[in-house]
Structure 1
Amino acid sequence: MGALRSLVRNESRTMAGLWLYLRRREDGVDEDAVAVPYGANGKAIFIVFAVVSAFEAGLFWLIDFGLVVDLLLLVLGVYSALLVFGVYAGTVVRPHVISPREVRVRYSSFYDLRIPRENVSTLRHLKESHDPAEAKAFRDGTWLSYDNFYETNLIAELREPMTMTRPLGKTESIRVVKFHADDPKAAVAAYERLDVS
């Protein structure tokens, strides 16, 4: 039941992200914080998926399943295209955030990890490619944010382990967070500039 609740929550956040995107607003970036975008490399794939979903919905009109089934398939096709575009919109309106209080690692509507600054021992730039089979599991307390084709370029090492909630509600204990930013050097510079210790 927890996974179903998490799925519904993710879909409602996805639609909310689409609304924010249409209004050109960002979510969760305070005045003293720096937004760290991460979705530039995935834009083309999201556009392809959205177009394919819309095209697929149109193709169902060519096969006569009856009016009720045709309308249902059309609604589902349009909804799936909106979801795909909503996930992309979420990557734009919900960037990673670096502030004097926290480092916030996010991916669209699926996860939002808030790491207090006092728990971050280092944030550094290091480009790595990860094997997808191994990236699916949490290994040695390392969490890989694999939203960018299993490539990461930022590593946050934590002083104390913390709990990470996965998209469908399962939790894991982590000590290292590896994630991606469009400009990792600017992210590290913002982290150092906003250091209040």
Structure 2
Amino acid sequence: MNRPSARAAVWAKGVAEALVPLVARRLVRHEVRALHSLGLWVLRRRHQVPEGALAVAYTGPQTAMMYGMIFVSVIETVALALVIPWPVVHAILLVIDLYGVVLILALHASCVVRPHVVGSDGSLRVRYGALFDLRVPAATIAGARVDRRYPDGRLVRLSPDGVLDLAVGSQTTVTVELTEPVPFVRPLGRRGVARTLRFHADDPRAAVAALTRARTGVAPDPSAAPQ
């Protein structure tokens, strides 16, 4: 009895993949994960941070902007409620606006509950909410340093020489040199290969210290000036 149901599930999955474009499927998946993260945020839990690992927060540069967007969305909702006289149209726009507020809050929540992770073995997991997730094995990390840079406004940027920037608030604070290229997937499904990784951490010194300690057994000098 399990075989027909399994075949039906595989067939349904194949039909869905054929009918729904990859970008649309990924957007829906990101949205579901963000809403799940909102629940974790309410429960004060984090997503997949193993015991003994260091959770590295990165939401500092965007927190004020996120709450500002929520405030503007709420004001817009109230204004439309006063301007639009048609009850049906008002109800539809109210649902859309309120769902938009929930999605903005869910995006921020997903970044809070899905921090970067430095594993006890020296591995690194770099994330941006439910949109980006890159795992870097410890063996491929050659070194890490505090390195504040200001790339362009895109979330993910790959330079021709293989430098991957994952910026928050148009800035990165940690640079990780790799011993070999590491593949990654962009939020909408495109693939790339990174040879150097730059990302933002609210406390870059702690992240670099954890990566260095796991790799060499010795933490870097905290008095050393960042590059």
Q: One fold, TM greater than 0.5?
A: yes
Instruction: Summarize deviations over 1:80-121 as a string: whole Å, max 9, x none.
Output: 111111111112111100001520001111101111111111
The number of equivalent residue pairs is 195
- State the Cα distance separating 1:65 from its structure 2 match: 5.5
Specify the alignment match of 2:11 in structure 1.
none
Question: CA separation in 1, counterparts of 2:38 and 2:99?
Answer: 12
Q: Does 1:110 align with 2:131?
A: yes
| Alpha carbons of structure 1 residues 11 and 65: separation in structure 2 relative to 1, 3 Å | farther
1:107 alignment partner AA: Y
Match of 1:140, SS state, is coil
- State the Cα distance separating 1:40 from its structure 2 match: 1.6
Specify the alignment match of 1:183 in structure 2.
203
Q: Does 1:75 align with 2:86?
A: no
Q: Does 1:122 align with 2:124?
A: no
- Higher RCO structure, 1 or 2 (CA under 8 Å, sep 6+): 1
Residue segments in structure 1 that go unaligned for 5+ positions in a row: none
1:124 alignment partner AA: R
Question: TM-score if structure 1 supplies the norm length?
Answer: 0.92
Specify the alignment match of 2:182 in structure 1.
162
- State the Cα distance separating 1:33 from its structure 2 match: 0.6
CA contact (8 A) 2:141 2:178 kept: yes
Residue segments in structure 2 that go unaligned for 5+ positions in a row: 1-20, 218-227
Q: Does 1:143 align with 2:164?
A: yes
CA contact (8 A) 1:138 1:172 kept: no
Match of 2:26, SS state, is helix
- State the Cα distance separating 1:132 from its structure 2 match: 3.8
Specify the alignment match of 2:4 in structure 1.
none
Q: Does 1:29 align with 2:49?
A: yes
CA contact (8 A) 2:122 2:210 kept: no
Specify the alignment match of 1:42 in structure 2.
62
Question: CA separation in 2, counterparts of 1:167 and 1:196?
Answer: 33
1:129 alignment partner AA: Y
Instruction: Summarize deviations over 1:114-141 as a string: whole Å, max 9, x none.
Output: 11111111121111122448x7454311
The share of aligned pairs that are identical, in percent, is 35
The ranges of structure 1 where at least 4 consecutive aligned residues each deviate by more than 4 angstroms after the TM superposition are none
Question: TM-score if structure 2 supplies the norm length?
Answer: 0.80
Question: CA separation in 2, counterparts of 1:87 and 1:163?
Answer: 24
